[in-house]
């Protein structure tokens, strides 16, 4: 990448920015991120991003110490997400113009030094007061392997290991914000995990473009913080009611009520960034795709040179934990600066 990030202020035409609220409302309700499937494609029942959860439970957002009990930590980071578009599948047809925004595509081509930028995914996150997003890197993709057919934690290990760069699909992510919620700044490490952490306010109709697969980032706590954050589990949903109102429901039970001004609303756009036509065609052709077997064999070979226990002799949970522990290193405790 030629630059670590690009900031847009403003991002969209004011009328288009207002339309982003209507899109969320038309979706009806948002489920939690924890509601996504477990990693049972490899036999284990671990959450998709157990790497992030384990680090947060111990160290919190600032990397020092998390004083919250585990149940509260889970509710604090179990935010609400829905996908607006994945490839050519537009769950919300009106998101098409956002997905193909010319200014965004041009910025991605420039930042990534890319000849071809292919819009890939658009999803929305909603955080209620008291929630924050743990420090993490996003889920990358490789030729043949994505979150559609591989555990998310495994894909993250693949990228952090550096063993699969020849197959990685470079992705840039644009995180945009809409609404007037307090707090919830975007915090990130643009110069690397060992450098200074920085924060960008989540102001209405602004955005930042960066490689979130490689740059550690998170969300500072949304305020004002309620005295008791509602218990949020996989069954909890955030429902649009009417006017400006959203209801936090567990089944038929209403546990809290919010307005748009309470909620931190972000929309993330992801685009595949190919440096030239050859790389684009290779991705399209599928002639050099990885398989799960390829990945585990390469990990096995790498770990064997370091005297580690063979992955084949571990249980599925032990294997997943070993790979995450060996290849993913979260940033050390650092103070954030605006």
* Closest of 88, 104, 106, 107 to residue 96, by C-alpha: 88
Q: pLDDT by residue (tens digit) across 23-33?
A: 999 999 999 98
CB atoms within 10 A of CB 56: 26
Would you state the structure tokens that stand for residue 247, as one six-digit string?
A: 């209801």
Q: What secondary structure letter does DSSP report for 314?
A: S
CB atoms within 10 A of CB 188: 24
Q: Which residues contact 91 (CB under 8 A, 6 or more apart)?
A: 27, 82, 83, 84, 85
CB atoms within 10 A of CB 276: 12
Percent of the chain with pLDDT over 70: 95
Q: What secondary structure letter does DSSP report for 145?
A: B
Nearest-angstrom CA–CA distance, 81 and 237: 10
206 phi and psi angles, rounded to 5 deg: -125, 170
The tokens 């339309």 sit on which residue? 19
Q: pLDDT by residue (tens digit) across 199-233?
A: 999 999 999 999 999 999 999 999 987 667 999 99
Q: What secondary structure letter does DSSP report for 287?
A: T
pLDDT of residue 227: 65
Q: Please, what is the average pLDDT of the chain?
A: 92
Q: pLDDT by residue (tens digit) across 291-313?
A: 999 999 999 999 999 888 899 89
Mean pLDDT, range 146-175, rounded to an integer: 96
Question: Which bin fits 113, alpha (ψ -120 to 50), beta or left (φ > 0)?
Answer: left
Mean pLDDT, range 119-141, rounded to an integer: 96
Q: Which residues contact 205 (CB under 8 A, 6 or more apart)?
A: 9, 10, 11, 12, 14, 17, 176, 177, 178
Number of domains observed in the structure of the chain: 1
Query: Percent helix, strand and coil across the chain, each rounded to 5?
Result: 30, 30, 40
Burial of 115 (C-beta count, 10 Å sphere; 0-12/13-18/19+) = middle
Residues of the domain holding 53:
5-337
Nearest-angstrom CA–CA distance, 264 and 184: 7
Quote the Cα angle for 201-203-206, to 5°: 105
pLDDT of residue 37: 62
What beta strand segments (E) does 22-166 contain?
A: 29-32, 80-86, 89-90, 116-127, 133-136, 141-142
Mean pLDDT, range 36-55, rounded to an integer: 80
**In terms of pTM, does the model score above 0.75?**
yes
Using DSSP's 3-state secondary structure scheme, residue 124 falls into: strand
Q: pLDDT by residue (tens digit) across 62-79?
A: 888 888 998 999 999 999
Q: What secondary structure letter does DSSP report for 244?
A: T
Instruction: Read off the CATH number of the domain in which 111 is found.
Output: 2.60.120.620
pLDDT of residue 2: 43
Quote the Cα angle for 276-281-282, to 5°: 100
* Closest of 202, 165, 162 to residue 182, by C-alpha: 202
More confident residue, 40 or 21: 21
Nearest-angstrom CA–CA distance, 222 and 64: 19
Would you state the structure tokens that stand for residue 41, as one six-digit string?
A: 């494609």
Longest alpha-carbon distance in the chain: 61
Mean pLDDT, range 267-274, rounded to an integer: 98
CB atoms within 10 A of CB 201: 14
């Amino acid at each position: 990448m030629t630059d670590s990030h690009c900031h847009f202020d403003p991002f969209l035409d004011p009328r288009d920015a207002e339309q982003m609220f209507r899109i969320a409302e038309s979706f009806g309700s948002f489920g939690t991120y924890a509601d996504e499937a477990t990693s049972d494609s490899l036999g284990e029942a671990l959450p998709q991003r157990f790497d992030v959860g384990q680090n947060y439970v111990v160290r919190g957002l600032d990397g020092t110490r998390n004083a919250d009990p585990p149940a509260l930590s889970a509710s604090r980071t179990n935010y609400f997400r829905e996908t607006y578009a994945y490839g050519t599948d537009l769950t919300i047809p009106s998101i098409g113009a956002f997905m193909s925004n010319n200014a965004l595509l041009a910025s991605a081509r420039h930042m990534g030094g890319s000849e071809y930028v292919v819009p890939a995914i658009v999803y929305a996150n909603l955080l209620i007061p008291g929630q924050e997003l743990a420090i993490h890197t996003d889920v990358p993709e490789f030729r043949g392997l994505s979150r559609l057919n591989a555990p998310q934690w495994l894909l993250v290990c693949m990228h952090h290991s550096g063993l699969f760069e020849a197959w990685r699909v470079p992705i840039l992510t644009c995180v945009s914000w809409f609404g007037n919620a307090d707090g919830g700044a975007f915090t990130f490490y643009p110069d690397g995990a060992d450098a200074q952490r920085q924060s960008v306010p989540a102001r209405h109709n602004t955005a930042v473009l960066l490689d979130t697969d490689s740059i550690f980032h998170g969300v500072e706590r949304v305020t004002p913080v309620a005295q008791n954050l509602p218990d949020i589990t996989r069954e909890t949903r955030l429902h649009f009611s009417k006017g400006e109102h959203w209801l936090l429901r567990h089944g038929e039970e209403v546990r809290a009520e919010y307005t748009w001004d309470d909620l931190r609303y972000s929309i993330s756009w992801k685009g595949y960034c190919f440096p030239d036509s050859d790389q684009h065609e290779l991705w399209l052709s599928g002639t050099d795709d990885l398989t799960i077997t390829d990945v585990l064999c390469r990990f096995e070979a790498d770990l064997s040179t370091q005297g580690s226990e063979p992955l084949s002799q571990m249980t599925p949970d032990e294997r997943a934990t070993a790979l995450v522990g060996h290849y993913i290193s979260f940033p050390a405790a650092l103070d954030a600066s605006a």
